[in-house]
C-alpha cells in the first residue's frame, strides 16, 4: 500500500492570494493525481502529474490557475492561484496502487477556505 501525506491539512486564505499544497508518497510512483472536492460535492480530477513532463489537465482546469510541480517520483505540489471563495474545497492527492494492487490511494486532503 501507499501512504500519502499532505501539507497543510487545512488553511484559511484571503481572496487573491495563492496557496501551495504539498503531497508526499512513501514509495516511488509514476502518476500522481490531484482531485478537488467542493462542499457537498463529489471528487473531480484536476490534473495528472507525471514526473519529468507537463501535467495533464482535465477540462475546466488550466495551468495558470492550478500549476503543478513533480520534481521526483515521490513528491508533487499543487498551487491554487489568485484564489476566490469558489476555490474553497478539499484538495486531495492520489496515486494508483502498484504491483497489482487494485486501489486508488488518497492523501488525507487539504481543506481550503477562501474568504
Partner 1 sequence: AQKITQTQPGMFVQEKEAVTLDCTYDTSDQSYGLFWYKQPSSGEMIFLIYQGSYDEQNATEGRYSLNFQKARKSANLVISASQLGDSAMYFCAMREGRNSGGYQKVTFGIGTKLQVIP
Q: How far is the CB of 91 from partner 1 (least distance, A)?
A: 11
The binding site for partner 1 (CB under 8 A) comprises: 31, 33, 37, 41-45, 48, 50, 56, 90, 92, 94, 96, 102-106, 108-109, 111
Is the CB of residue 15 less than 8 Å from the CB of residue 115?
yes
d(CA 94, CA 67): 17
Residues facing residue 56 across a β-bridge: 48
Quote the least distance from Cβ 14 to partner 1, whole Å. Answer: 22
Residue 114 grid cell: 477562501
What is the closest distance, in whole angstroms, from the C-beta atom of residue 31 to partner 1 in the complex?
5
Query: Toward partner 1, which CB reaches closer, 77 or 94?
Result: 94
Nearer to partner 1, 13 or 31 (CB): 31
Which residues does residue 69 pair with via DSSP β-bridges, in sequence order? 77
* d(C-alpha 60, C-alpha 63), whole Å: 10
Amino acid at each position: 500500500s501507499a501512504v500519502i501525506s499532505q501539507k497543510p491539512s487545512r488553511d484559511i486564505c484571503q481572496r487573491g492570494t495563492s496557496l501551495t499544497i504539498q503531497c508526499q508518497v512513501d514509495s516511488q510512483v509514476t502518476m500522481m493525481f490531484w482531485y478537488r472536492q467542493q462542499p457537498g460535492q463529489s471528487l473531480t480530477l484536476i490534473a495528472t502529474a507525471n514526473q519529468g513532463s507537463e501535467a495533464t489537465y482535465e477540462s475546466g482546469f488550466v495551468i495558470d490557475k492550478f500549476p503543478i510541480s513533480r520534481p521526483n517520483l515521490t513528491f508533487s505540489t499543487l498551487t491554487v492561484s489568485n484564489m476566490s471563495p469558489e476555490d474553497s474545497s478539499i484538495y486531495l492527492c492520489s496515486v494508483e496502487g502498484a504491483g497489482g494492487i487494485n486501489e486508488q490511494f488518497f492523501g488525507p486532503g487539504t481543506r481550503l477556505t477562501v474568504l
